[in-house]
Amino acid sequence: MKYNFLGNTGLLVSELCFGTMTFGGKGFWEAVGSTQQNEVNQLMKTVVDAGINFIDTANVYSFGESEKLLGQSLKDLNLNRNELVIATKVRGLINESPNGQGLSRYHIFNSVDESLQRLQLDHIDILYVHGVDYKTPVEEIMRALNDIVLTGKVRYVAVCNWPAWMVMKAQGIAERHGWNKFIGLQYFYSLAGRDIEREIVPMAEDQNLSIMPWSPLAGGFLSGKFTRNNETSISGSRRENFDFPPINKDKTYDIVDVITKIGKEHNVSAAQIALAWVRHQKSITSTIIGAKNNEQLNDNIESTKIVLSTEELQKIETVSALTAEYPAWMLERQSGNRPKN
């Protein structure tokens, strides 16, 4: 397992991060997974034995059950807390009370305390804001995040799913006040969804922010199970009841054809090729993988051994490339005589 620095923090995290969205299975989360304690413990043992030190959860996953199961597994397996980087999130609807969601100071502080109780921990290594809260000023959000770090309950703060302009606004506010800034970004990124290459990736490179891609297999669509000639395979899968994240399925079938062929040449699954491609991309620090069982987990872990050739990367690039949008095509046209590199 390779380890990469998290932004400019000096903290090393494994190139794979284990995501726990499949833990619990409460409510609509059952469509994603319903892994219970015995299976959770087996998965966590496999994770740690493979050298993965980065674990990702969220307070909303199965309405807190994922955090509980993860926390209990740390106890059951007697894992060394100081050798793990634990991340969780705040923003989503966790209960039906008037302040049961959002990024107000009130909700952030309450949510951190509740997450720590469920996790059975005394601190969270990385706290992500899980999305945008248009009702709370960015300055209040950043002040609250800075203050929660100063309590010692959180070590670092990071962000999920914000537009690039808002991340930069937040970073500017934090810089002006001398507050803790975001150190990383968790965004959807896969061969079937390369949208962050337009604004998020250039921002991350400029600001030395780590990127932790979620759903690198596009909700399982890049696993190789789904092909244009076998659409019935979606029946009974996660995609049947939880068709997320949204993708261009017709284009993705073309991508699956290419990575399946490359996978056969390497004698590995299409999923491993899809994960290897993400790992090869700029600014990617740790790719978040999830699994319902050890077979899936081990298959994902094996992807770290794959090195794609320049020719293979070009084939994948061609079939999955983004369509140029304005102002990108204008920037390319106008900068021909003054390239950025």
Token pair of 212 as six digits: 């932790």
Give the pLDDT score at 335. 87
Q: What is the pLDDT of residue 232?
A: 56
Long-range own/partner contacts, residues 98-105 (CB < 8 A, 24 or more apart): 102/133, 102/135, 102/136, 103/129, 103/133, 103/136, 103/140, 103/141, 103/144, 104/133, 104/136, 104/140, 104/144, 105/140, 105/143, 105/144, 105/147
Look at residue 236 in the predicted model and tell me its pLDDT. 63
CA distance 287 to 254: 23
> What is residue 241's predicted lDDT score, i.e. its pLDDT?
80
Query: Of the listed 3, 61, 106, 326, which one is catalytic?
Result: 61
Active site residue 189: no
What is the pTM (predicted TM-score) of this model?
0.96
Amino acid occupying residue 155: R
Mean pLDDT of all residues in the chain?
96
The residues with which 5 forms a beta bridge, in sequence order, are: 12
Q: In the chain, what percentage of residues exceed pLDDT 90?
A: 90
Q: How far is CA 249 from CA 14, 87, 165, 221, in A?
A: 31, 31, 29, 9
